[in-house]
Amino acid sequence: MYPVAVLVERALNDLDADQLVALHEALDDTVTYHLILPVESSSTALASSLSALGAGEIAPPVAPGVVLDAADEVRRQGAAELESSATLLRARGQQVVALLTEDDPVDELVRVVASEKAAEAIILTEPHFVKEFFGLDWSARAKRALDVPTLHLIEHVPFDGQA
C-alpha cells in the first residue's frame, strides 16, 4: 500500500484527477489517496464575512421566512465537493479516504501524513501569489512541517502549464 495525503482547496475536476493518477501510474503498490478538503469554521466564516462587508460586498437577498445556517451550508457544500472529488478518483480505479475538516488545513495534513504514514503529500490550490511570495501558503507551511516529499500543483492547470 502507498498512502498519499492530498490537500485540496476546492473540488477536483477531471484534469486534476487524471494528473493525480498519472503521478503514480508506475507504482506497483496500491495507492490510497487521503483526500482532505477544509471548510471554514464558524469563527473563520464570520471573519471572512466581516471583511467582505468592509470591502463593500453585499450578500444576496434571502427570501422572507428562510433561515440560513451559514456553518451548516458551508459544511454541506464542502461535503458535496469532497464527494465529487472522491468519485472522480474512484472512477479511475483509485482507493480514496475522504476527510472534511474545519481545522487548520496544514495541521490536518500533517496529522493525516503522520497517522496514515503517507509516503508523500500533494497540495492542490489556486495561485496565491502574495502568500506564496512570503512563504505563508499551504505548500510552504507544509514543506516546513513534513518530512515527506511535498508537491504543490495549481488546480485545474495541466502539468505543462504549471509554473
Ramachandran area for residue 117 (φ above 0: left; ψ -120 to 50: alpha; else beta):
left
CA distance linking residue 130 with residue 162, whole number of Å: 17
| pLDDT score of 2 | 97
| pLDDT score of 28 | 93
8 A C-beta contact, residue 129 and residue 13: no
- For residue 107, name the pLDDT band (cuts at 50, 70, 90): very high
Q: What pLDDT, in 10s, does the model give residues 22-71?
A: 999 999 999 999 999 999 764 444 444 444 444 444 445 555 555 556 77
Query: What's the Cα-to-Cα distance from 117 to each of 5, 39, 142, rounded to whole Å?
Result: 9, 24, 15
- Model pTM above 0.85: no
Instruction: With a cut of 90, say whether residue 128 has pLDDT above it.
Output: no
- For residue 82, name the pLDDT band (cuts at 50, 70, 90): very high
Q: Give the residue-averaged pLDDT of 11-25.
A: 96
Q: Give the residue-averaged pLDDT of 13-28.
A: 96
Minimal CA–CA distance to 34: which of 148, 159, 160?
Answer: 148
Q: What pLDDT, in 10s, does the model give residues 129-161?
A: 656 655 668 889 999 999 999 999 988 888 888
